[in-house]
Structure 1
Amino acid sequence: MYLEQFNRDSSSILKYLPFVVCFLGFMALNIIVSSLMNLDSSTMIQDSIDQWGKNFTFFTFVVPFVFFLALLFLWWKFIHRYSITKLTTAREKIDWSRFFFSFGVWAGINLIVLSVGYFIDPDSFQFQFNLKAFLPLLFIALIFIPIQTSFEEYFFRGYFMQFTAYLSKNRGVALVATSVIFGLMHLSNPEVSSMGLTVMIFYIGCGLLLGIMTLMDDGLELALGFHAANNLLGALLITSDSAVFQTDALFITTADSNIYELLIQVFIIFPILLYIFSKKYNWANWKQKLFKSV
């Protein structure tokens, strides 16, 4: 199984500490400083857009993840002495068909939801295609968003989940802990200001969905595909004034932020997605894979 293919002796577990502490500490410090200084992320994003434009502002959000992902891979390769394939999956090689299936399914569901929303309230959607602005956005998004989403998956559903599973000796504890911390890492997002702390249900729900995918499927491929599709659509297809990715996407929505739409995703659409994957890949032994001791 995915979490059980690595050494779990004390020296091996201690190797996780520097990267985990440094990255989570860095993220926590940013959130704490922003809170203490009463910095508003929406205002900061808008100030950056006014000064540098949308594409450069978007670039500054995603480019640091090139460094984070490279550092994680190098740490894994030279400190833990395992291959990137082992960090990705329990299979002998990475199953890219799983990645593209997950990407396609989630992109398709989002397109259906968007179409329904447009049919119900077309006035809240504004088509804003600008070829001169969209082409650089497309270039940045296609290169850097998969890197950004891959780092989050390799860290939270891979590296950090291994660490918390070894410490707690339980898969369920690791699943919940990594999902909650993943959600909390989004506290400084503009969506929190516009919708309140209840939006954490969505972010933590995403973490649980991605964690369940990883544990049930013995690999990160499905989670990598879902996350890449989700963020690419958010950058290229539709944006809003309260989104963390404020880009020259094809559409901008002027509808008020609605927490109920996100809750429908968490409690209705996410379970449907898991059902699709479970049938496609013949998932079984849910209790054992999600809650068994490690």
Structure 2
Amino acid sequence: MTFLDYARRGKNDSWRYVLGLVLGPILALILGALLLIPATFNNLLPEDIESQLTQVKDPFIFFPVTGVIFGLFLAGYSLAIFLLQKKSPLDILGRWTWKSFVLGAALWLAYLGICTLVDFALSPKGFRISPTPPSLDLILVIVGALAVQTFAEEFVFRGYLTQGLLLGLKNPVAASLACGLAFGALHIPNGAPQAASAVVFGIGLSLIAIRTGSLAFGSGLHLVNNAYGAIIVVSEQDVFRGSPGFLYQNTPHLTWWDMGLGLGGLALMAFVIWKNGPADRPEAA
């Protein structure tokens, strides 16, 4: 089955998709309120919770709360999609295999390692080894939280939104471009480089999802991408700055170079998969 076959499942009127995009966050907020109210009355939240969520001050707060927030959005969208369109989460995931997930993670980890070596060759003074590397407990907390965060983004953007755009636009490239722009808009608060990177990142992952018929490859890639920046090499120019990592990188003069290097690798990977991926034929509508 192709990604389009999975997209055709359930009820797919345009108004259902529009309403689903609105209802998902509303349900997430309702679920969040159910958790927030008792947590507030029992003084379970830190006084500076707002600042804790905008930067990594305490990783044992920032990452778990981030995971909970994105988990709520995942639950909200899953419920909205089921109520409005009678779709199950499996319809959004497509032809998921753990082999594809691991492959995406392994290939991207290798490429990020190469990018770090290139940066080190260009600016060795911009790197330093952490005197207090993260503990195993913290690594597990960060990876677990980022697994929820990245999967939620893949589910909503590369899954639900891309499928809807694919049905409406009937063109995989156009659908991927539109989804990439939406993903980039979400990252505007993180700065211009992050937003521009997210656009190309979103386009590439949408093309990969459509071609492979699954969110697995992109989910593995996305998780490694974020975990690498939060644990292995933490950049002072990244959204995860302040996170305890093994290496710290402070090379502001390489910001746009790094973006081009990373996106070039993703674009090449998406191109290769698009040209050589499985050539399944869609089922009859």
1-side partners of 2:233 and 2:121: how far apart?
15
* Superposition deviation, residue 226 in structure 1: 0.9
Alignment coverage as a number of residue pairs: 259
Pair 14,8 (structure 1): closer, same or farther in 2 beyond 3 Å? farther
User: Aligned match of 2:114 in 103, 112, 126?
Assistant: 112
Equivalence for 2:237? 242
Where 1:252 maps in the other structure, the secondary structure is: strand
User: Aligned match of 2:77 in 72, 75, 79?
Assistant: 72
* Superposition deviation, residue 255 in structure 1: 1.4
1:265 aligns with 2:262: yes
User: Aligned match of 1:125 in 110, 127, 140?
Assistant: 127
Pair 163,284 (structure 1): closer, same or farther in 2 beyond 3 Å? closer
Residue 234 of structure 2 aligns with an amino acid whose one-letter code is: T
1-side partners of 2:228 and 2:67: how far apart?
15
Residue 122 of structure 1 aligns with an amino acid whose one-letter code is: P
Where 1:243 maps in the other structure, the secondary structure is: coil
1:57 aligns with 2:62: yes
Residue 97 of structure 1 aligns with an amino acid whose one-letter code is: K
In the TM superposition, structure 1's runs of 4+ consecutive aligned residues that sit over 6 Å from their partners are: 8-11
Residue 259 of structure 1 aligns with an amino acid whose one-letter code is: W
* Superposition deviation, residue 160 in structure 1: 1.0
Pair 163,68 (structure 1): closer, same or farther in 2 beyond 3 Å? same
Kept in 2, the 8 Å contact 1:199–1:259? The answer is no
Q: What TM-score does the superposition give when structure 1 sets the normalisation length?
A: 0.75
Pair 9,112 (structure 1): closer, same or farther in 2 beyond 3 Å? closer
Q: Deviations over 1:35-66 (max 9, x none)?
A: xxxxxxxx9569865xx524323333332011
Equivalence for 1:97? 99
1:255 aligns with 2:251: yes
* Superposition deviation, residue 23 in structure 1: 5.5
Equivalence for 1:38? none
2-side partners of 1:8 and 1:86: how far apart?
7
* Superposition deviation, residue 276 in structure 1: 5.0
% same residue: 21
Pair 83,57 (structure 1): closer, same or farther in 2 beyond 3 Å? closer
Gaps of 5+ in 1: 27-42
Alignment of 1:22-33 (within 5 A): 22=23
Pair 277,161 (structure 1): closer, same or farther in 2 beyond 3 Å? closer
- RMSD over equivalenced CA pairs, Å: 3.3
Gaps of 5+ in 2: 28-49
Equivalence for 2:44? none
Equivalence for 1:34? none
Where 1:150 maps in the other structure, the secondary structure is: helix
